[in-house]
Structure 1
Amino acid sequence: TAEAGVQRAFDDVRTRLGQSTDPYIRERLSDLQDLSNRLLLRLTGRAAADPSSLPDDMIVVARDMGPAELLDYDRTRLRGVVLEEGSALSHVAIVARALDIPVVGRAPDVLSRIEAGDPIVVDGDNAQVLVRPAEDILQTVHAAIDARAERRRKYMALRDFPSATRDQARISLNMNAGLLIDMQHLDETGADGVGLYRTEIPFMVRSEFPDVDAQAWLYGRVLDLADGKPVTFRTLDVGGDKVLPYLGAFGDDNPAMGWRAIRIGLDRPAMLRRQLRALILAANGRPLSVMFPMIAEVAELLSARHLLALELDRAKRRGQAVPEQLRVGVMFEVPALAWQLDSLLPHVDFVSVGTNDLLQFLYAADRGNSRLAGRYDSLSPALLRLLHFVVGKVRPAGVDIAVCGEMAGRPVEALALLAIGVRTLSMSPGAIGPVKAMIRSLDLNDAVGFMNSALTQPDRPLRETLRLFAADHSIEI
């Protein structure tokens, strides 16, 4: 039968790929499993479960998941995600945290241990999954949830207070976003603006590439909802584990370092020009900030800026309004760019550090590989010294520098970033309260002096050292 043929084909491919030592190849088994399941459902005449018909207070347990798949579920009912694979820095985990959904990855054999309908507790903060917990455990969990809610109320009370240290250093706190619904958090959190708008997320949930008018409407709504607060739009950053369903995977052996982000935009300039055209239309004379991702050479930025200039000229010829102020920046995530800063800085208005990719490229460690998760600390002297070097180059040149990776949203890491000279942070909305509380309890001069000394010490992660410093100085982390 056709069903048997599909199953035999999948079993054969699974046997061959399962012998591979390449983590990426092995992870593709989950894609093939999903394809096989969908084919079998179609052949047998059974319908796949409709995510919108699933129950309230649900937790999704899966082998793996992409960010677009996560968005299939009703976020008002989805309470958590548990994955056998993946890591804290995978894109699905980042999107889940932005949606305030706890996610735990690297849970081996969890699918074989959990039945549909089982009560589960997902503790994303501590990477724990409790299956069929006893009543006394549930009471403890509910107490922890109540305590968390109380902390959130305390953080909300800080909303209208300035984000300034005890010695009056002003720190700009911004939020990361990727969907229109995220924009409501701009007012709720009191964020200064949107430091990173991920334009690829709306592309990932569509069945076809959106045209210029559809993109312009979306970006215009983002600017409307921002109500005058600055928004930094990152151009399309797909590839790796962010696949557009209408383009498919690109077949790269190492997708994280393959054909992705600005490389796609420059090789397919019509795609990038349509997006830039839409951004100019959406601005309609308002200020516009555009950020190009994964720039590895200055020549790539210059090529991208050339395409932007062509679109600005096109708008002027047609009598369309152009941005009253245009800011152009880059994501610093490829380490090679650190040694090109003298050539880069005259061509940019700002630099935004993407610490997630920077960490994986610096240590040659795939951030989606569960075997490497946690092996290299974001508070390692190597990364902090690199960032300290970059800040020391960028700020004296009169160019703004921000951090928009996951480091910015964790109080201990944020403390380290401030101590090496960063003054602008962008993070998921839920992280703004804890980071602001840390900032308002911090004497920045003390932290700078401590960090200058710590970075000269033997190479070992500074996480515990920073925690002790915070405890000694009553810094809220």
Structure 2
Amino acid sequence: MTAADSEPAEMILGLAAATGIARGQAVICHCGDNVAVPRRLLGEDEVPGELQRFETALRETEGHLRTMETEVRARCGAADAAVFDAQIQMLRDPLLRHEVIGRCTKGKLNVEAALSDAVDELMAAFRAIDDPVFRERAADVQDVGRRLLNRLLAREDTDVRSLPAGSVVVARELLPSLAAGLGPNRIRALVAERGGTTAHAVILARSLGIPTVIHADGATTKIRPHDPVIVDGVAGRVFVRPSESVSREYERLQASLANRDQALRELVTLPTVTQDGVAIGLSANVGNVADAAAAARAHADGVGLYRTEFAFLVNAGFPTEEEQFQIYRSAAAQLKGREMVLRVLDLGSDKLLPYFPLPIEANPSLGRRGTRLLMRHPEILRTQLRAALRVSATHALSLLFPMIGGLDEFLAARQAVEDAKAALRATGQPFDPAIRVGAMIETPAAAITARALVWAADFLSVGTNDLVQYLLTTDRTSSEMAGYYEPLHPAVLQVLKHIIEAATAEAKPVSLCGEIAGNPAYTELLLGLGVRSLSVAPTELLEIRRVVRTLDSREASRLAERALAAGTIAEVKTIVAAKRVPNDEATFQRRALQRWRWEGGAGP
């Protein structure tokens, strides 16, 4: 008798973090669990010995991380291996060392307890940051601390490479240490109770094509070792001990997805053009060299948004001009002559770096951020601009300034570019003197004054995530406010139309990025509003290309006219939904959930 026959089936809802469908046997990984730490007071004569144990653990842990960095670099490339270099930098961070040594020498705590307390304090600091990318760096701190504790307690690190082939790893949190052992031939899928879509292990799983579901509440208690599991990384569901009927449905879905993937691959070299011959620019949003390479493989028109924050995030301090130059040049080289739009560093308020302390603000979401912040710290901006300009000498590169509040701010940003050019010219450094400089439209002020901004800018890029947030005064990261964050709000459509018309009147390019751009449900509406350039995640490129090639721009314009005339969100949704044809995946999900309810499952 199988587990599916003897135990009741169960479905766990979660968040799809890496797409795909996989089946396998569950392995419960305790890498994210709390470690029981001995705690005692030291005698004065014991302190030197404890400090020596700490130094030994630091050296041994760094050696182990170097080994894993080499393995991942060989298998996945330098970008994915960067997580281990970032952890090595954390090991060397004087703050961590100072905190542990201080607790040992002054508090007379044994080194295990001192380390545990210091790591907890650093993790709390990271998790207090509102920005999800930075908040998820708490997992790196936890991972480094756990490695050190394992050395001090003479325990082995969790190594997924020793797991049997076909395993589905289930954990409280997917710590970065999992990355060294990930491989689609051994690890079929990942399930975690906590974590985020930008966690290092999730990013690597996505690049390796390993289906991943996070926020799967109670997974480590509801799933037992060796349970048969189906992980649905399309809809964010985990089926535990599935019935034969559900298993058969998912066998059909896997075959359907394989056929769909093959059909999408056949679109790689085809143009992104509507049925009536309107060409749509389709670029990629990237954050590292690996993303740029993926965009090139999908024949993207270029990189519409290069987020430079990652290069700063993995460093223990501000990267030098030369370090930034090498990073940006490596990414641009992947594009083989196609343009890369580099967004200057977007930090501030709730998006912070540990080594860049800023004053606490009463209302972080309305605080100093992006271009405003950089203009107050010209040394940071100057270094980045010099690095980017040097890349422009040999690669097609444009500059994009984030969180612009109006014409005054953008003119000041342009002057900073001119100053950087003059400095390079004085030292004989080559650069593109005609490099394009664009403004990112993310604030209501920038949207309203778009006609003035487009006059001064070479191009516009609409950052829809923040624009929707600020237009509708709703926090897009808050689960309580999720119902108010609505891209189909009539105000959003009216503002997008205004921005596009402003750019068109001056014959300036305007591109759209953010979640709206990458959602195929919105593609026809966006084309109808006049959007002719989209920038999406590399994984979304082929699907958006497929949808564009099924559309007629004239019908899209008529759809947009009806949507613009609507007065409520419900009316807009009804208009858009009437044009939408359910895809095979959506149809399958309804069928699977119906069958689940017929068989006594709770459903979502």
TM-score, normalization by structure 2: 0.66
Residue 473 of structure 2 aligns to a residue in which SS? coil
**Structure 2 CA distance for aligned equivalents of residues 48 and 310 of structure 1:** 54
What does residue 573 of structure 2 align with?
A: 463
What does residue 481 of structure 2 align with?
A: 372
Post-superposition Cα deviations, 1:61-103, rounded to whole Å, max 9, x if no partner, equal 55699xxx69966775587665656788x89899689746656
What does residue 499 of structure 2 align with?
A: 390
Equivalent residue letter for 1:178 = G
Give the alignment partner of residue 405 of structure 1, picking from 508, 511, 514. 514
**Structure 2 CA distance for aligned equivalents of residues 107 and 427 of structure 1:** 27
What does residue 222 of structure 1 align with?
A: 331
Q: Does 1:361 align with 2:466?
A: no
Q: Does 1:125 align with 2:247?
A: no
Q: Does 1:195 align with 2:313?
A: no
**Structure 1 CA distance for aligned equivalents of residues 358 and 242 of structure 2:** 40
Q: Which moved more, 1:126-135 or 1:355-364?
A: 126-135
Q: 2:178 touches 2:201 (CA, 8 Å); kept in 1?
A: no
Q: Does 1:233 align with 2:339?
A: no
Equivalent residue letter for 1:225 = Q
Q: Does 1:262 align with 2:371?
A: yes
Kindly state the Cα deviation for residue 333 of structure 1 after the two structures are TM-superposed. Answer: 1.1
What does residue 529 of structure 2 align with?
A: 420
Equivalent residue letter for 1:442 = L
What does residue 146 of structure 1 align with?
A: 255
Kindly state the Cα deviation for residue 219 of structure 1 after the two structures are TM-superposed. Answer: 1.4
Equivalent residue letter for 1:394 = A
Give the alignment partner of residue 333 of structure 1, picking from 427, 442, 466. 442
**Structure 1 CA distance for aligned equivalents of residues 158 and 497 of structure 2:** 49
Give the alignment partner of residue 342 of structure 1, picking from 436, 451, 460. 451
What does residue 446 of structure 1 align with?
A: 555
Equivalent residue letter for 1:230 = E
**Structure 2 CA distance for aligned equivalents of residues 209 and 177 of structure 1:** 20
**Structure 1 CA distance for aligned equivalents of residues 281 and 178 of structure 2:** 30
**Structure 1 CA distance for aligned equivalents of residues 447 and 141 of structure 2:** 42
Equivalent residue letter for 2:311 = P
**Structure 1 CA distance for aligned equivalents of residues 311 and 432 of structure 2:** 23
Give the alignment partner of residue 175 of structure 1, picking from 261, 284, 297. 284
Q: Map of 1:11-410 to 2, 5 A cutoff?
A: 42=148, 45-46=152-153, 49=157, 59=169, 61-62=171-172, 76=183, 99=207, 104=213, 107-110=216-219, 113=222, 121-134=230-243, 136-239=245-348, 242-247=351-356, 251-323=360-432, 325-410=434-519
**Structure 2 CA distance for aligned equivalents of residues 357 and 184 of structure 1:** 27
Q: 2:229 touches 2:241 (CA, 8 Å); kept in 1?
A: yes
Q: 2:130 touches 2:350 (CA, 8 Å); kept in 1?
A: no
Cα 1:159–1:32 change in 2 (3 A) is: closer
Kindly state the Cα deviation for residue 308 of structure 1 after the two structures are TM-superposed. Answer: 1.0
Kindly state the Cα deviation for residue 246 of structure 1 after the two structures are TM-superposed. Answer: 3.4
Residue 562 of structure 2 aligns to a residue in which SS? helix
Cα 1:23–1:205 change in 2 (3 A) is: closer
Post-superposition Cα deviations, 1:377-425, rounded to whole Å, max 9, x if no partner, equal 2222221121112112221112111111121111111221111010000
Residue 392 of structure 1 aligns to a residue in which SS? helix
Equivalent residue letter for 2:480 = R
The count of aligned residue pairs is: 465
Q: 2:143 touches 2:177 (CA, 8 Å); kept in 1?
A: no
Kindly state the Cα deviation for residue 137 of structure 1 after the two structures are TM-superposed. Answer: 3.4
**Structure 2 CA distance for aligned equivalents of residues 62 and 73 of structure 1:** 18
Q: Larger Rg: 1 or 2?
A: 2
Post-superposition Cα deviations, 1:410-449, rounded to whole Å, max 9, x if no partner, equal 1111221111010000111221222112111111111211
Q: 2:407 touches 2:453 (CA, 8 Å); kept in 1?
A: yes
**Structure 2 CA distance for aligned equivalents of residues 54 and 272 of structure 1:** 46
Q: 1:85 touches 1:370 (CA, 8 Å); kept in 2?
A: no
**Structure 2 CA distance for aligned equivalents of residues 97 and 382 of structure 1:** 37
Residue 436 of structure 2 aligns to a residue in which SS? strand
Equivalent residue letter for 1:449 = R
Kindly state the Cα deviation for residue 163 of structure 1 after the two structures are TM-superposed. Answer: 1.2
Cα 1:74–1:442 change in 2 (3 A) is: farther
**Structure 2 CA distance for aligned equivalents of residues 13 and 219 of structure 1:** 30
Kindly state the Cα deviation for residue 270 of structure 1 after the two structures are TM-superposed. Answer: 0.6
**Structure 1 CA distance for aligned equivalents of residues 493 and 196 of structure 2:** 22
**Structure 1 CA distance for aligned equivalents of residues 390 and 178 of structure 2:** 27
TM-score, normalization by structure 1: 0.82
Superposition RMSD in Å? 4.2
Residue 565 of structure 2 aligns to a residue in which SS? coil
Kindly state the Cα deviation for residue 458 of structure 1 after the two structures are TM-superposed. Answer: 2.9
Q: Which moved more, 1:298-307 or 1:436-445?
A: 298-307
The answer for unaligned runs of 5 or more in structure 2 is 1-39, 41-108, 588-604
Kindly state the Cα deviation for residue 234 of structure 1 after the two structures are TM-superposed. Answer: 0.8
Kindly state the Cα deviation for residue 202 of structure 1 after the two structures are TM-superposed. Answer: 2.2
Q: Which moved more, 1:375-384 or 1:100-109?
A: 100-109
Cα 1:346–1:13 change in 2 (3 A) is: closer
Cα 1:39–1:24 change in 2 (3 A) is: same
Q: Which moved more, 1:224-233 or 1:277-286?
A: 277-286
**Structure 2 CA distance for aligned equivalents of residues 248 and 110 of structure 1:** 37
Q: Which moved more, 1:334-343 or 1:254-263?
A: 254-263
**Structure 1 CA distance for aligned equivalents of residues 343 and 177 of structure 2:** 21
Equivalent residue letter for 1:440 = R
**Structure 1 CA distance for aligned equivalents of residues 170 and 350 of structure 2:** 19
Residue 197 of structure 1 aligns to a residue in which SS? strand
The answer for unaligned runs of 5 or more in structure 1 is none
